[in-house]
Amino acid sequence: MASKDDANLGDLLLFNTGIIFGVIAGLAVALRFTSKLWTVGKVQSDDWWILAGLFLFWAEDIIQCWSTIAMSRAIQNEYVGFDYVHWIKVSYSSGIFYFPSALFAKISLLILYRRVFSVPSFRMASAIVMVVAILFYLSCMVTQTVLCVPIQRLWDPTIAGYCYPYGTFLVAAVSLEIGMDVAVLSLPIPMIVNLHLPTSKKITIACVFLLGGFVIITNIVRIILCYDPETKADIVWHDEFWLILHLATAILCACLPTYGPLLQKFATLPSTIRKRYASYSNKSSRDVPLEKFPSNSGSREPIHKYGRMDVYPQNNSHFAEAAKYRDENLMETKEVPATSIRVTDTVNVV
């Protein structure tokens, strides 16, 4: 039997884990959509798959947090007023969301692989892995659904029937999922090795894809900590803690390869700003204001009344000559209709 201190620890740890990693997964998907819309200009099919996986993860996260907190409080209150039947029904429903969420994250990653590496042999291999992943997770969903036959026996042991040992199912499902993760993560490595890129660049790309290996670690830890045939008290919050961590990590790692173009844009943003500022400064320095030449009547009207003020040549000799005529008051101008050009007659007095 778990102590009250253990219950408090499980309550606090799982609640914080659910909130923090739920937000992290949401930010990862939001940044992925931002990257696609900013660089590609559209959202693609793999983005919709990961978004669906995120929604399912949030649903599973909320249910798991609620069920574990409810159990922890029941332990604190020595099960007084605890509705065990309601608790087991809600906890059981969380499995409906876990397996589809993990599947959608893998499908999203595989579709991304197929778009990046269009080699026919690779596309065939990725299609095979995708089909195997779909069959595997569907079988896990069915097994989770018929964990007890009839299902009512799960919360009422007096009903005739049987239940599969959940610990055995957990170890088998997680072990096979680890193998599935290894297959998905190692799939693009041969393609990366054959890229015509510097070795350092290949290593960087491979590391981005292999960061998903953390999901393998979370599953291994989940088996070690959660499978205990002698005790079932700690399995409640230990299992849910690592399950939430696993799903959030899977979603985050499926989004990491899409951040490359966005990071490149951010890296070049300072130089782009400097270039635009320099271009604006150069343009401003070329804008020479037009002087207003006095006419014989002494008025201060602009030389060109009907058109643009900057149509005169910027050659220094022209400006010097115009200044000379202005000072000697020898320039006579006459206006023409707005549909014509400006005509200037120069009369030299001898």
* SS3 (DSSP) at 307: coil
Residue type at 126? S
Secondary structure (3-state) at 118: coil
pLDDT of residue 303 exceeding 50:
no
Using CB atoms within 10 Å of the CB of residue 167, give its burial: 0 to 12 exposed, 13 to 18 middle, 19+ buried.
middle
Range of lowest pLDDT (108-122, 196-210, 226-240)? 226-240
Of 45, 46, 89, residue with least CA distance to 66: 89
pLDDT tens-digit profile of 73-89?
777 777 777 787 888 88
CA–CA separation, 20 and 38 (whole Å): 27
Backbone angles phi, psi at 296, to 5 degrees: -60, -30
Query: 99 or 322, which is more confident?
Result: 99
Of 6-15, 113-122, 150-159, the one with minimum mean pLDDT is 6-15
> d(Cα 310, Cα 289) in Å, to the nearest integer?
8
What does the alpha-carbon distance between residue 349 and residue 39 come to, in Å, rounded to a whole number?
68
**Partner residues linked to 346 by β-bridges:** 331
The two tokens of residue 194 are 């054959």
pTM value > 0.75? no
Q: Quote the mean pLDDT of the chain.
A: 75
Residue 293 pLDDT > 90 = no
Compute the average pLDDT of residues 37-44.
87
Residue 45: pLDDT over 90: yes
Are residues 54 and 26 in contact, defined by beta-carbon separation less than 8 angstroms? yes
Q: Taking residues 154-177, what's their average pLDDT?
A: 85
Which of 60, 8, 64, 25 is CA-nearest to residue 226?
A: 64
CA nearest neighbour of 106 among 150, 52, 55, 156:
52
The pLDDT value recorded for residue 1 is 46
- Give the integer Cα–Cα distance in Å for 66 and 11: 9
Mean pLDDT of 203-222: 82
Mean pLDDT over residues 191-219, rounded? 82
d(CA 320, CA 80): 101
The type of residue at 308 is: R
In the prediction, which pLDDT does 128 show?
95
Q: Which of 29, 27, 182 is nearest to 101 (CA)?
A: 29
pLDDT given for residue 231 in this prediction: 46
Per residue in 281-311, is it b (16+ CB within 10 Å) or e — as a string?
A: eeeeeeeeeeeeeeeeeeeeeebbeeeeeee
**Does pLDDT of 201 surpass 60?**
yes
pLDDT at residue 57 in the model: 95
Specify the pLDDT at position 135. 96
pLDDT above 50 for 283: yes
Q: Collapse the DSSP code of 40 into the 3-class scheme (helix H, G, I; strand E, B; otherwise coil) and give the result.
A: coil
